[in-house]
Chains A and B, each alone.
Chain A
């Protein structure tokens, strides 16, 4: 089922074949980020959007938009019959292919995204910090009018992802939500044989509507589960074990479903 040397050969083959695709994916992300920052900083006080909190918003929005997209493209070869055959006939077990997918999508992509984010963000953050200091000095010269300038309270500097988390619990919640979205995207790309991206988006939209309906029925009580990691509300005994189990089981089941989908595509 699992052979380390075979797994490493598969990883090398995957890297040789797809490294340009991955580089393009990150490269396009960097270009979009660069253009966005250019537009922001061309304004008079555009730097005010690049506080540490502003950078955090860019980082996490970018991560949650691109990570499922990257995940959905990992098995893009499965969408075409001829390339799907090649991918499925690679000399590796379905578990090894799935494990590699999970390692690339859930572990390596967030790391690569974080590094790529700083290509544009680091110089922009330094520029914003110096622009804010300059602006504060100019306003101080103008005198008492500076009192109303609440922007002086904003924190400028380089954003670091881990500094934004109040505790390890927030980081766990975010990681589990992100990996669930990635697993769902991988599952969609394997489950649907034709137009997997379109169909996955449609199913995601229908599911979103359905879950909104469920939340409406559940009322405010749904926050107990969703806020398990970040709230400190008191829970009854069964909730204390059920909630963490469910939080971990949902992404685990989604990844497991993608393993089954890969196996069933092989059989088909």
Chain B
């Protein structure tokens, strides 16, 4: 009685239990894409995930990413710009290693390590940056769109609730621009609302910080007074009043 019913139900149950118990994670693998940097001045990475960039004269040019059934990484050339677009999920970083032949990096969140001493580098970001490495001239430009919501004067009464919440969120989500290590003769950082951290100011030469009203900066322990110039961000109309945290 009801034998076929029971057997079919047990088959469904058995299949479910087997599907739960049998799986084992696939071994971690990475896919490597060689990058042709011939004639390229600028590297742009469009990705939700953070990017580890290594600038190393001794290295080949390549990109490593975690392959997945829904991940796609496309590399295209647009004149002298190499554009990498990735939909790898945010929690899995991309690794890029290139020879230091490019002069400009356009990234969102990136950790950048420069092997030898570079001549000049411009980093354009819309997120957080961590820099390690020696360079003669380093320019970091923060184009985070969040800060467009921020009012020119943080103490000003916002026009409406949504604007106020946007301004509060701009504070809450302030990204970090960290200059961790390396000798840098001329450092220029421009941001409207991020937190600039100069971890080792003794290794920095002339420092120019162009800060918006919501931006902050902090300086690590130093044996001398750093040569630092504070300028107002042109997008913020009022007089500069950058604050230390």
Residue pair B165, A149 in contact (C-beta under 8 Å): yes
Residue pair B5, A147 in contact (C-beta under 8 Å): no
With A257-B8, A257-B9, A261-B5 as known contacts, state yes or no: A148 contacts B25, CB within 8 Å. no
- Encoded as 1 (CB less than 8 Å from any A CB) or 0, chain B from 150 to 165 comes to 0000010111111111
Is A233 interfacial (CB-CB < 8 Å)?
Answer: yes
Residue pair A140, B15 in contact (C-beta under 8 Å): no
What is the size, in residues, of chain B's interface with A at 8 Å between Cβ atoms?
A: 42
With A187-B9, A253-B11, A253-B12 as known contacts, state yes or no: A234 contacts B164, CB within 8 Å. no
Is B195 interfacial (CB-CB < 8 Å)?
Answer: no
Shortest CB distance B122–A (Å): 33
Q: Which of A35-43, A79-87, A97-105, A238-246 contacts B (4 or more CB under 8 A)?
A: A238-246
Is B1 interfacial (CB-CB < 8 Å)?
Answer: yes
Within 8 A of A (CB), among B108-165: 155, 157-165
B1 cross-chain contacts in A, Cβ below 8 A: 264, 268
Is B60 interfacial (CB-CB < 8 Å)?
Answer: no
Cβ 8 A contact of B19, one of A234, A246, A258, A263: A246
A152, A218, A226: which has the most chain B beta carbons within 10 Å? A152
Cβ 8 A contact of B89, one of A144, A191, A232: A232
Residue pair B20, A218 in contact (C-beta under 8 Å): yes
In the assembly, what is the distance between CA of A215 and CA of B17, in Å?
9
In the assembly, what is the distance between CA of A187 and CA of B11, in Å?
14
- Encoded as 1 (CB less than 8 Å from any A CB) or 0, chain B from 1 to 15 comes to 110110011011101
Residue pair B158, A144 in contact (C-beta under 8 Å): yes
Cβ 8 A contact of A146, one of B18, B25, B68, B158: B158
B160 cross-chain contacts in A, Cβ below 8 A: 136-137, 140
Is A198 interfacial (CB-CB < 8 Å)?
Answer: no
Residue pair B19, A225 in contact (C-beta under 8 Å): yes
A191 cross-chain contacts in B, Cβ below 8 A: 2, 5
Number of A-B contacts (CB under 8 A): 133
Cβ 8 A contact of B23, one of A137, A232, A239, A249: A239
In the assembly, what is the distance between CA of A235 and CA of B89, in Å?
16
Is A260 interfacial (CB-CB < 8 Å)?
Answer: yes
With A137-B160, A144-B164, A234-B26 as known contacts, state yes or no: A153 contacts B20, CB within 8 Å. no
Cβ 8 A contact of B68, one of A214, A217, A234: A234
Cβ 8 A contact of B5, one of A135, A143, A250, A260: A260
Is A45 interfacial (CB-CB < 8 Å)?
Answer: no
Which B residue sits closest to A169, measured CB to CB?
B70
Is A10 interfacial (CB-CB < 8 Å)?
Answer: no
In the assembly, what is the distance between CA of A136 and CA of B158, in Å?
12
Is A224 interfacial (CB-CB < 8 Å)?
Answer: yes
With A235-B26, A264-B4 as known contacts, state yes or no: A147 contacts B9, CB within 8 Å. no
- Encoded as 1 (CB less than 8 Å from any B CB) or 0, chain A from 194 to 220 comes to 000000000000010001001101100
With A234-B69, A246-B19, A253-B12 as known contacts, state yes or no: A136 contacts B162, CB within 8 Å. yes
A137, A140, A147, A151: which has the most chain B beta carbons within 10 Å? A147
Is A150 interfacial (CB-CB < 8 Å)?
Answer: yes
Q: Which 7 A-B pairs have the closest CB atoms?
A: A136-B161, A152-B165, A253-B12, A257-B8, A146-B164, A147-B168, A224-B23
Question: 15 other contacts beyond A144-B157, A150-B169, A256-B8, with CB at 8 A cut-off?
Answer: A147-B158, A147-B165, A152-B162, A153-B169, A187-B5, A191-B2, A214-B17, A234-B66, A235-B26, A243-B19, A246-B19, A250-B15, A253-B11, A254-B9, A260-B4
A-B contact pairs, 6 of them (CB 8 A): A147-B167, A187-B9, A222-B21, A233-B68, A239-B26, A250-B12
